[in-house]
Amino acid sequence: MINNEELILKAIEAAKNSYSPYSKFKVGAALLTSDNEIYLGCNIENASYSLTNCAERTAIFKAVSEGKKEFKAIAIMGSATEEFDEYCTPCGACRQVLSEFCEPNFKIILGRIKEKNKIELKEYTLKELLPESFVL
């Protein structure tokens, strides 16, 4: 079983593919499926700005398009400096997209690196970050 720290390391790996020439802010996400597969995603920016896709949505769209629809957790890392020394929280749009596929107790794991090689973690549920979410 993969632990939170291992999933965070996967998110850092995902951020390496970030296409962010405009913001220069690299984000990576590692999405864990119920059957313990991991889908990576990075932010992909666009010259039109508004067509930018966040790392979290890249990961979930990759997974859903491969037939996965049940998820346990996502780890997110973002940084303007590649030091990943501040937590990167998911934007509102990504929270809503996660809520389409994930249960209220789905885990959202954030990380930051304050000292060399020491990862600090924060963990939320989707319900905590998106209470009273819109569903049909």
State the catalytic residues.
56
Q: Which is nearer to ligand THU, 26 or 38 (CB)?
A: 26
Asked if 34 interacts with ligand THU (CB under 6 A), we say no
Residue from 4, 20, 79, 99 in contact with ligand THU (CB under 6 A)? 20
CA dist 62 and 28 (Å) reads 13
Stretch that binds ligand THU, among 21-29, 64-72, 106-114, 125-133 (CB under 6 A): 21-29
Provide CB contacts within 8 A for 62, sequence distance 6+: 39, 40, 41
Given candidates 84, 90, 106, 130, which one binds ligand THU under the rule CB under 6 A? Answer: 90
Indicate whether 33 belongs to the interface with ligand THU (CB under 6 A): no
What's the min distance (Å) between Cβ of 112 and ligand THU?
14
- Collapsing DSSP states into helix, strand and coil, what is residue 53? strand
**Number of shown-chain residues binding ligand THU (CB under 6 A):** 14
DSSP letter for each residue of 59-122: HHHHHHHTT---EEEEEEEEESSSS--S--PPPHHHHHHHHHHS-TT-EEEEEEEEETTEEEEE
Span from 5-13, 18-26, 32-40, 99-107 in contact with ligand THU (CB under 6 A)? 18-26
Report CA-CA distances (Å) from 66 to 37, 49, 53, 59.
11, 27, 18, 11
Binding site for ligand THU (CB under 6 A): 20, 23, 25, 27, 43, 45, 52, 54-56, 88, 90-91, 94
